[in-house]
Amino acid sequence: MSEDIPIWRIKYLPRNLDQICGREKIKNSLKKIIVQSNFPHLLFIGSEGIGKTTLANLFSKEFLGKEYDANFKMVYANVPLSEEERSQARKEAYVSKSKVGSIAGRRITTPAFIQVKIKPFVQLKALGDTPFKILVVKNFEALGNNQQGFRRLMEKYGSNCRMILITDKISSIIDPIVSRCQIFLIPRVKFEDFRDLIFNIA
Average pLDDT of the residues of the chain: 85
- pTM, two decimal places: 0.83
- What pLDDT, on the 0 to 100 scale, is given for residue 109? 56
Ordered structural domains, the chain, with CATH: 23-79+111-201 (3.40.50.300)
Contact yes or no for 18/27 (Cβ under 8 A): yes
Percentage of residues of the chain with pLDDT beyond 70: 79
pLDDT reading at 176 higher than 50? yes
Contact yes or no for 41/180 (Cβ under 8 A): yes
- What pLDDT, on the 0 to 100 scale, is given for residue 94? 56
Residue 167 β-bridge partners: 45
Residues 151-169 have pLDDT tens digits of 999 999 999 999 999 999 9
The Cα 50–Cα 188 span in angstroms is 6
What is the number of H-type helices and E-type strands within the chain?
10, 5
Residues 1-53 have pLDDT tens digits of 445 555 555 666 789 999 887 789 999 999 999 999 999 999 999 999 899 99
Which ranges in 76-144 belong to alpha helices (H)? 83-93, 112-113, 119-122
